[in-house]
Structure 1
Amino acid sequence: MRIGYLSTYPPAECGIATYTQYLRESLDPAAHESFVICQSGGAGEGVFPLWHPGERFSEHVFGTATRMTPDVMHIQHEYGLFGSQHGAEIVDLLLRLRLAEVPTVVTLHTVYETITDAQRMVLRHIVEDASAIVVHEDYQKATLDREFGRPEKVHVIEHGIREVRPVPNAKQRLGLAGKKVVLMCGYFRKTKGFDEALRFFPEVAENCDDAVLVMAGKIRGTEAKDVQAELYAALDEMPFADRVKYFRGQFPQYTLDALLSAADCVVLPYRTGAQSGMLSQCLAFGAPVVASGLNAFRDVLERTGGGLICDHPEEYGSAITRVLTEPELVNDIRQSGRRYIRETGGWSRVMERHMSVYEPLVSPAGSRGEYAFIPEPSVESRDATNSSSPDHRFTSPSKERGFRARDGYPALAASH
């Protein structure tokens, strides 16, 4: 099967970019090929950055996508990715793909329980014109069913979780050896609730002598610059301010992995949100989570057993203290998380459920034939096989994923 993805993509800094990367990499490279059409900032094999944020793009993306002749297009949707007016440009693209009879799956990464009129206008067209919809939580499917009907189109597939090992000696490498690390990590925004540390950390520090609060993150450009400045000033004045450590920067994946590996507890006191890629990152490293009572957090933590929910802000201090001082609780949390990843939530399992969505669209009932795809061997293996041939010449080595520019595929510009 040839699958086209429309998304942001690494090295662009975006949670949906890394989500798409992990989803794509979980494909079986011996059976499927893929390509990505993305915003500027993405790069890699079979990756084509074709538009800049805020630009009109649907006709350009449509032309490229159809020249690639995908069996299915999979769009990763977030309101801010597809132009102005809540990303209304996506409506035109979906209609074009539907008219061209290209099966199209849309993952809605944000579905709020209460939908605004503007969001409803865009979502109505997405639900109608997409071949299938993917959401991550049951309550999101219920919301779409209530608003638009069409339950047969909506599939609940969990946010994938990486199957990784902790970074060795992470605490020592970060200067946190011998400490109980309470981590808050991400972009500084009021909705993230970083200021809740002012309430909970003095209580935690009083009950746990070796606890330190690690604030790790940054602002996007000048967004929330005042929020960060006010927070830092207030933290400097609170009790136990000398036990707060700051890391700043847009952390490369391995650095973020080290932070999560060093964490004894990660606090996610978000006030709004549909789901969080950070929560999945925490589960990957077995970092116990203390989170707010958002439905997205509640659903995931109840399903995975990966942490504790706080329905009221005053509960954070006692919940974090429990995680830092009750080894049996932490062991149960980590074992539950590992079992969930192994049996349900790992990316390989998540891709299996995506394939169950793709397959009926590509091979509907009554269709004949089966997909044929044999990946080109790497240069090294071809050298070994054909070393005796005097006319042995190769160009443009292909990757295991099997897709590259070659005869019969369009030559594509990297940008406008």
Structure 2
Amino acid sequence: MRILYLSPYPPARDGIGTYTHVLAHAVRARGHEIAVIAARPDPGAPEEVVGALGGGGEATLRAAVARFRPDVVHVQFAVPAFGARSLEVARRPATPGVPVVATLHEVSRDTALLRGPGRALYRRLASGCDRLIVHTRAARDTLAALGLDAEATVIPHFSSPPPPATGTAAGLRTRFGLGDDRVLLAFGHIHVSKGLDDLVRAVATLPPATLAGVRVVVAGAVRRRHGPFRVFEARDYLHEAAVRRLARRHGLRDRLVFTGYVPDGDIAAWFDAAAAVVLPYRDAEQSGVANLARAFGVPVIATTVGGLAELFEGSPWAIPPGAPDRLATAISDLLTTTPRTGGTTRTPVTDLDTVAARTIAVYEAVRGRLTPGNRPDAP
């Protein structure tokens, strides 16, 4: 088959772009042809990128379809991924006779944040798709609450292999002055919904003897936004500033380390350095960070929101959101029951081969079901 992806894509710094890159290459490795229409133009894009939305919009997609002649178009969607072009993407692509699949990466978060307009946006997108994919049962429940009739398939987020390591845990400890302290790692984009303020409040209540040997490392930066969605970027910067102030107020300035953007070569090293990964999220669709932590064998403390509740069902370190006291208890318990360094035993995760196979099965299903004579028209 020939699969055309519509998605953010490397070298853009975007988690969905990374997901698409890994998935597309896994699909290619299984003997299929791939091409990509990127969310935004970039002169450093790899050879499979045959266009970008840029200012061309639907015309760009239509031209790519004419040149590549895909059997399936696969949209990787979240509002932050496309910003001001989200409505443009949500309109049924100009792909007559070609089935459209959409993976909805943040349907619960987007509709909660954008409310009525967000729900209308997702209904519009769903009306133009032949199959929807979500990562969790909670996301599928969100679709049901929206009253969508589209068929939805749950395919869990895979644990993508990290880029080749160029840094080491010892090097990071030296660079950021961590010494021998145990690292509680908050990895990924800084976002107001990720509960960093709850983490600071929890750490502030740790016993002095425990606190003296702990550092909280926030390894990541605020996600760049575009167009009118830059207001959310500004909100996340304000959140970061508030977290820093909170840390100073609690006397934790030297216990909290912000690294800024993490180069690909340092990703594995940060997980190697971590005693635990902490996900004090207040809402979440799913978490690639959680899957990375599980693949590296690093213990995870996570709130029971969205797909995290499914992922860590039965874990002794699964806690309710917005409860710094429970978070502090979980941190203390983990630090007293696990080794000083992150573990190396890998726990079961949804592997890439399984996700690629199940995604290809969706392609085959929509391709076999839809013919030019029975393809539904967009309302």
1:216 partnered with 2:226: no
Per the TM alignment, residue 205 of structure 1 is displaced from its structure 2 partner at its CA by: 5.5
Per the TM alignment, residue 317 of structure 1 is displaced from its structure 2 partner at its CA by: 0.8
CA distance in 2, matches of 1:195, 1:155: 35
1:4-36 CA-to-partner distances (Å, cap 9, x unmatched) read 111010110111110101111222525111111
Out of 258, 281, 292, the position equivalent to 1:246 is 258
Per the TM alignment, residue 226 of structure 1 is displaced from its structure 2 partner at its CA by: 3.4
CA distance in 2, matches of 1:7, 1:165: 20
Contact 1:288 1:334 in 2 (8 A): no
Per the TM alignment, residue 126 of structure 1 is displaced from its structure 2 partner at its CA by: 2.4
Per the TM alignment, residue 207 of structure 1 is displaced from its structure 2 partner at its CA by: 5.0
Contact 1:8 1:17 in 2 (8 A): yes
Contact 2:317 2:330 in 1 (8 A): no
CA distance in 2, matches of 1:70, 1:169: 40
1:104 partnered with 2:105: no
Structure 1 pair 320–66 and aligned structure 2 pair: CA distance change class (3 A): farther
Contact 1:306 1:334 in 2 (8 A): no
1:318 partnered with 2:320: no
Aligned residues: 351
Contact 1:166 1:285 in 2 (8 A): no
Structure 2: segments with no counterpart, 5+ residues: 225-232, 372-379
Match of 1:50 in 2: 52
Out of 353, 356, 361, the position equivalent to 2:361 is 356
Equivalent positions of 1:355-374 (< 5 A) are 355-364=360-369
Out of 218, 227, 234, the position equivalent to 2:239 is 227
Per the TM alignment, residue 82 of structure 1 is displaced from its structure 2 partner at its CA by: 4.0
Match of 1:257 in 2: 268
Out of 226, 236, 248, the position equivalent to 1:236 is 248
CA distance in 2, matches of 1:6, 1:166: 26
1:192 partnered with 2:194: yes
CA distance in 2, matches of 1:147, 1:278: 28
1:381-402 CA-to-partner distances (Å, cap 9, x unmatched) read xxxxxxxxxxxxxxxxxxxxxx
CA distance in 1, matches of 2:240, 2:278: 17
Contact 2:185 2:278 in 1 (8 A): yes
**What SS does the corresponding residue of 1:174 show, helix, strand or coil?**
helix
**What SS does the corresponding residue of 1:160 show, helix, strand or coil?**
coil
**What SS does the corresponding residue of 1:187 show, helix, strand or coil?**
coil
Contact 2:165 2:267 in 1 (8 A): no
Match of 2:124 in 1: 125
Structure 1: segments with no counterpart, 5+ residues: 367-416
Q: Which structure has the larger Rg? A: 1
Contact 2:162 2:267 in 1 (8 A): no
Tell me the amino acid that sits aligned with residue 191 of structure 1.
S
Contact 1:56 1:83 in 2 (8 A): no
Contact 1:216 1:246 in 2 (8 A): yes
Tell me the amino acid that sits aligned with residue 359 of structure 1.
E
CA distance in 1, matches of 2:48, 2:163: 28
Structure 1 pair 239–274 and aligned structure 2 pair: CA distance change class (3 A): same
**What SS does the corresponding residue of 1:125 show, helix, strand or coil?**
helix
1:194-248 CA-to-partner distances (Å, cap 9, x unmatched) read 1223311133363525222223232346723333233223323424543333322
Answer with 125-134 or 56-65: which moved more. 56-65
Match of 2:319 in 1: 309
**What SS does the corresponding residue of 1:9 show, helix, strand or coil?**
coil
Overall identity of the aligned pairs, in %: 28
**What SS does the corresponding residue of 1:275 show, helix, strand or coil?**
coil
Equivalent positions of 1:134-149 (< 5 A) are 134-149=133-148
Structure 1 pair 119–197 and aligned structure 2 pair: CA distance change class (3 A): closer
1:347 partnered with 2:352: yes
CA distance in 2, matches of 1:365, 1:43: 32
Contact 1:74 1:106 in 2 (8 A): yes
